[in-house]
Amino acid sequence: MKFEEILTHLGEFGRYQKIQYLLICLIAMPCAYISLQNSFLSASTDHYCRVNDTQTYQETSPVKNFTIPYQVDDQGMIVWSKCERYNVTGLEYTPDGFAARQQKLECDNGWVYDTTTYENTVVQEFDLVCDKDWQKQLSKSIILFGKLMGSLVFGQASDRFGRKPTFICALVLTLLSGVGTAFSPNYIVFAIGQFLLGFGEMGLFLVGYSWLALS
């Protein structure tokens, strides 16, 4: 029996199939946002060590000039240290006169971030800079690992329990993990949310695709 003959018995792409296709696409299309959201959530901005609690980011200021180490690159541009600050302990006599006694320390009071482009990111909220920069990179891999696991689990689940209940489970999981990620109190919760987002998103995409293919 040819494919065209099968359609005469099953019916062609009618109103029901069109409505079902539209509804599933409305749910599946935002999956692209989930794939790209970490690039914006984990965006890095310019930063330097915080010296006092009321300090705000500035390109240059007396406090920054006095407390943040810097060097001049080959192009003559000033490059400020992002992970060290001066600990000013007093004055000492030098051949040029009195100067501040300065000792380099790691940032021990947080960082000041440039919020011109990004007002708030995960990097700024959880201080994922300097020795914690690897955590920012890890979060980008975690969501991909979630996708890998989701493709393995939801494919088998849809064959065993049916595509509709599996699709609904993936949808609920994605919604809950998305809300949970938005209100993450720490990096651990954020990382778990990224995994669950990738896990659920792959369930929505794969199950929705196979569901439409068999409709």
| CATH number of the domain that residue 196 is part of | 1.20.1250.20
Range 194-204 average pLDDT: 88
Residues 112-160 pLDDT 10s: 998 888 888 899 889 899 889 899 889 888 988 998 998 888 888 887 8
Average confidence (pLDDT) over 80-103: 64
pTM: 0.76
Task: Reduce the secondary structure of the chain to three states and give it as a string.
Answer: CCHHHHHHHHCCCCHHHHHHHHHHHHHHCCHHHHHHHHHHHCCCCCEEECCCCCCCCCCCCHHHHHHCCEEECCCCCEEECCCEEEEEEEEEEECCEEEEEEEEEECCCCEEECCCCCCCCHHHHHCCCHHHHHHHHHHHHHHHHHHHHHHHHHHHHHHHHCHHHHHHHHHHHHHHHHHHHHCCCCHHHHHHHHHHHHHHHHHHHHHHHHHHHCC
Domain final position from 114, 139, 165: 114
Q: What pLDDT sits at residue 191? A: 92
Domain boundary at 79, 114, 149, which? 114
- Count of structural domains within the chain: 2
